[in-house]
A and B are shown apart, each in its own frame.
Chain A
Amino acid sequence: MEAAFAEMPLALFSTLAPMGAGAFVILAAAFLTAKLDAEALGRIDRLTAIPVAFVIVGFIAAFFHLASPANAFGVFAGLGSSPLSNEIAAGVVFCVVMVVYWAWALTGKMPEGVRKGLAVVLAVLALVFALFTGMAYMIDTIASWNTLAGPVQILGYALVGGAALGVLVLALAGCADELKAGSLKTAVLAVLVVGLVCGIGGLAAQAMAANGLENALYSGADMVSSALMVIVAGVVCLVASGVCDVFAVRGGGASAVVGMGVGAAVLAVAGILLMRLAFYAMQVSVGLSMLL
């Protein structure tokens, strides 16, 4: 398990960026279902800085993982063949649309239709980005990673983490009542449930796959057992984050809702980060590769 901590920058990236991206799913849902006045929209737009920051900090973390960040502009050379190029491309497309959307929204002059349309596009791009991030680890020489459980996990983290961030943004923007309203609440809960199922189910599936693998250096079962406590802690945090979200959408005093939102976000970061570290710890190559 210790070796996985060396992958902290990548764990941070794959925690923060999908979370930030996933928040736009909730925002899109809010724009589509809730009646928000201009002031509320303005507050939401300013607070959108939070998911934007998550995405950017995530990318910065990934950047620091590189030994020669200066050459980073070359990463698109492998587009189509290198899963990493594909991931970065998906991330960059998402970021570009995100920045365009956010800058436009901050002007306060974004037509409602455009907002809704762009938010939906962003939500879809976020999920695509999450899937590509997960697919980046599907390498046929790393048997324990070469499974759809990888992208499913990241998709789940984007949804659960995105729900937490989205709820936090809306709560801070004073939209507790809107959150409580039927259709947004349903949407948030739906996102949450799908996310938890994908995230936890994906990691569990991956752990089970790794458990049966073995190579000349170590057995997957040993790696899974050494990561087990981290997995359990991560799952507990993730579920707790969901519970906070549930409390948040059930309503209450504004500060209580904000508190729940903050709790959900913090627990989501902790839970996803732990689960990501566990993922790195369960790398079972078909041959002689290991972390470090």
Chain B
Amino acid sequence: MTHYAFHFDGTRCTGCKTCEMACKDYKDLGLGVAYRKVYEVTLGETKKADDGTFASTCVSYPLSLACNHCENPACVKVCPTGAMHQDADTGLVSVDADKCIGCGYCHMACPYNAPKVDREKGHSVKCDGCKERVAAGEKPVCVEACPARALDFGPVDAMSKLGEQADIAPLPAKSYTSPNLYVKPSKDAKPAGDASAKVVNPLEVM
């Protein structure tokens, strides 16, 4: 039994969204659905003084986020049908489309904005960790797509050596779901749960 985790290197990510679009192409997702999204967090001010000069406290950083395949997934917990399930061997969380009623509970419960009901498909959809690729010895398509090499994927043991568990805003404290995401934050990044770190691009991610 090897549970898998993502790694996000915030010192490298440039917010380019290649991960997101590569996933959308591979998974053939249309408008309104993305399994991986890139959040922009921006804080601070850039002001102009009376003498016309600037002073800036602006910090800004991106976070690329898919499903964290949590050890204690909120989506699985609330699912009434068992459609949302976690693979015992890999820890990957995915949807059994034949069981899903599309109630949207997983979407509401997940604090990582991962599952979403695709009404056209008639069920909940989300990142499944590219389980067929992982089984074939490849990494999820988003990871292998990253031009800046800011993403990685592998056994939890290996990924946990690369960063702290989900400790980056806008993510909540890891205690809720024990997410399998290990983050190396940039200098600009704020810790998980810091409510001052706002997502400033809701149009692009919700």
A and B touch in the complex (CB under 8 A): yes
- Residues on A lying within 8 angstroms of B by beta carbon are 65-69, 71-72, 74-78, 81-85, 88, 139-142, 214-217, 283, 285-292
CB distance from A240 to the nearest CB of B (A): 32
Can you name 21 A-B residue pairings with CB atoms under 8 Å? A67-B102, A67-B122, A67-B123, A71-B83, A74-B80, A75-B81, A75-B101, A77-B80, A77-B82, A82-B77, A82-B79, A82-B105, A84-B103, A139-B78, A142-B108, A216-B198, A286-B172, A287-B171, A288-B170, A289-B112, A289-B113
Q: With A and B bound together, what is the CA distance between A84 and B195 in angstroms?
A: 29
- A288, B113: Cβ atoms closer than 8 Å: yes
**Chain B residues in 8 Å Cβ range of A216:** 39, 41, 169-170, 195, 197-199
From the candidates B74, B123, B205, name the one contacting A141 in the complex (CB within 8 A).
B74
**Chain A residues in 8 Å Cβ range of B80:** 74-78, 82, 84-85, 88
**Chain B residues in 8 Å Cβ range of A289:** 107-113
**Chain A residues in 8 Å Cβ range of B172:** 141, 215, 285-287
**Chain B residues in 8 Å Cβ range of A292:** 206
**Chain A residues in 8 Å Cβ range of B104:** 65, 67
**Chain A residues in 8 Å Cβ range of B124:** 67
CB distance from A220 to the nearest CB of B (A): 10
Most B Cβ at <10 Å: residue of A84, A215, A288: A288
From the candidates A75, A88, A288, name the one contacting B199 in the complex (CB within 8 A).
A288
Given contacts A71-B100, A78-B81, 9 further A-B contacts (CB under 8 A): A74-B82, A74-B83, A78-B82, A141-B172, A285-B111, A287-B110, A287-B170, A288-B205, A289-B111
**Chain A residues in 8 Å Cβ range of B79:** 78, 82
Identity of the chain A residue whose Cβ is nearest the Cβ of B177 in the assembled complex: A141
CB distance from B60 to the nearest CB of A (A): 14
Q: With A and B bound together, what is the CA distance between A85 and B110 in angstroms?
A: 17
**Chain B residues in 8 Å Cβ range of A69:** 101
